[in-house]
Amino acid sequence: MNSSILNNPNSFFIKGGSKGIQVIRGGSLNCIKLYFIKKNHKYKMCLGATYISKVQTSHKSMNIILTPRDYLYCQIILSKIKDIGSANHEVVAYKPSTFDGTGFDASKPTKFIIHGFVQTGNANWLTEMAQEMLDYGDYNVFRVNWEGGSSMNFYGQATSNTRVVGLEIGYLVNWMVNYFSLDPAKVHLIGHSLGSHVAGYAGELITGLGRISGLDPAGPYFTWMPSFVILDETDAIFVDNYHTDARPLYLGGYGTPQAMGNVDFYPNGGSFQPGCGLRNVLACSHSRAIDLYRDTLNQTYPYIAHEYDDYDDFKDGHYKLCGDDNQKCPPIYLGIRASEYTQKDRINVQFHFDTNQEAPYC
């Protein structure tokens, strides 16, 4: 990428494969121009900003003007390593001095944790998960705080803002690749709910991104949309998703049943989680994906799931045709160790398992 573009915070252009995104940072439009070339059809859109076209409405149920980045105020915060100090530091692309004294090491694997709707990058689960990551491995761990765009009263506005946040993350990672020689294959984006799709938008911009983990990817306005609208298996080398609240929205579900990764996990069937009764129903199943992922960071014994066509087959013990010694469809570890899966070239592979109703879930 042209270094003059990387050093200019007001305008930049990123290309990857057949997709490219141009961010207009100044002016009154505050829009994103997105170019796609798929099956000889060209799409040119200012997504959610200045107009609604037939092309747009066929790919998104609604398009809403994006919150300007100055109002959204996306922060990316590097969690400090214990032996360096307890303070956290906000880092800024094109400002290397913001990395000084943080303990950031470009040779280490790098994790980004991204929250969802009506949440904040300082939420207890997110700060605790960041520390658990640091305790588990020798990582750089960033927390993404986009509460200015996710805390809107209108869910539709937050869905549009996911594109802006994805661009911010993509811009920072690409700048780090160029400035620090960060290996994108060692970068892992972990998003909950809308944060899963934020990770997908970022992944489109980062050539060779190593991994994305979607923790109950949001369903409303995303389920069964085209691949360039949702997190999908093309957004990183390896994409693993965890579906814990896949009921329809009218039944109180916030997630999606759609398999959209290399591997997709459906604990307890994926629609409703044990222990989430009437007294603890609001978003309980939706947040269980976070709890399960965190549990894999804290347990001595790994979680294991098995490949089945659906949950009924899993409960009935009807194995797929896996060959001798289960070689064609080996079991898989969940959570942090899912990347050890040996068949990463496969897509939308469904894995099932049951859990306890409270931690430890294994």
pLDDT confidence tier of residue 55, bands split at 50, 70 and 90: very low
| pLDDT, mean of residues 165-182 | 96
State pLDDT tens for residues 194-228.
999 999 999 999 999 999 999 999 999 999 998 88
User: What percent of the chain has pLDDT above 90?
Assistant: 54
| pLDDT, mean of residues 353-358 | 92
- Taking the CA atoms of residue 221, residue 235, residue 244 and residue 347 in that order, the dihedral angle to the nearest 10 degrees is 110
- Which helix H or strand E contains 157, and what residues bound it? helix 155-180
**Secondary-structure class of domain 69-353 per CATH:** alpha beta
Residue with tokens 């141009």: 22
User: What SS3 class is residue 326?
Assistant: helix
Tell me if 327 sits within 8 A of 279, measured CB to CB.
no
Q: What is the pLDDT of residue 328?
A: 67
Beta bridge partners of 299: none
Q: Within 13 Å, how many C-alpha atoms sit on residue 62's CB side?
A: 13
Taking the mean position of all CA atoms in its chain, how far away is CA 336? 14
| pLDDT, mean of residues 326-352 | 88
Q: Give the gyration radius of the chain's Cα atoms.
A: 20
pLDDT at 234 over 80: yes
State pLDDT tens for residues 58-83.
445 456 777 777 778 789 999 876 54
Angle at the Cα of 152 (from 195 to 25), degrees rounded to 5?
Answer: 75
The whole-model pTM stands at 0.83
Active site residue 216: yes
- Which helix H or strand E contains 147, and what residues bound it? helix 147-150
Average pLDDT of the chain to the nearest whole number = 80
Report d(CA 137, CA 91) in Å as an integer: 21
- What stretches of the chain adopt beta strand conformation (E)? 11-16, 19-24, 32-38, 41-46, 75-78, 89-90, 110-114, 140-145, 187-192, 211-215, 238-242, 263-267, 304-307, 332-333, 349-353
Task: Give the tokens for residue 18.
Answer: 């057949």
Give the contacts of 319 (CB within 8 A, at least 6 positions apart). Answer: 306, 308, 313
Give the contacts of 345 (CB within 8 A, at least 6 positions apart). Answer: none
How many residues are given for the chain? 362
pLDDT confidence tier of residue 280, bands split at 50, 70 and 90: low
CA distances in angstroms from 222 to 218, 288, 313, 332, listed in the order given: 7, 20, 27, 27
Q: What is the pLDDT of residue 168?
A: 93
Report d(CA 184, CA 189) in Å as an integer: 11
Give the contacts of 107 (CB within 8 A, at least 6 positions apart). Answer: none
Q: What is the pLDDT of residue 37?
A: 33
Active site residue 286: yes
User: What SS3 class is residue 248?
Assistant: coil
CA distances in angstroms from 49 to 58, 105, 116, 160, 164, listed in the order given: 16, 38, 22, 9, 12
- Report domain extents, the chain: 3-59, 69-353
Q: What is the pLDDT of residue 23?
A: 34
pLDDT at 154 over 50: yes
Report d(CA 321, CA 309) in Å as an integer: 11
Q: What is the pLDDT of residue 251?
A: 84
Active-site hit among 216, 235, 245, 264: 216
State pLDDT tens for residues 240-252.
999 999 998 888 8
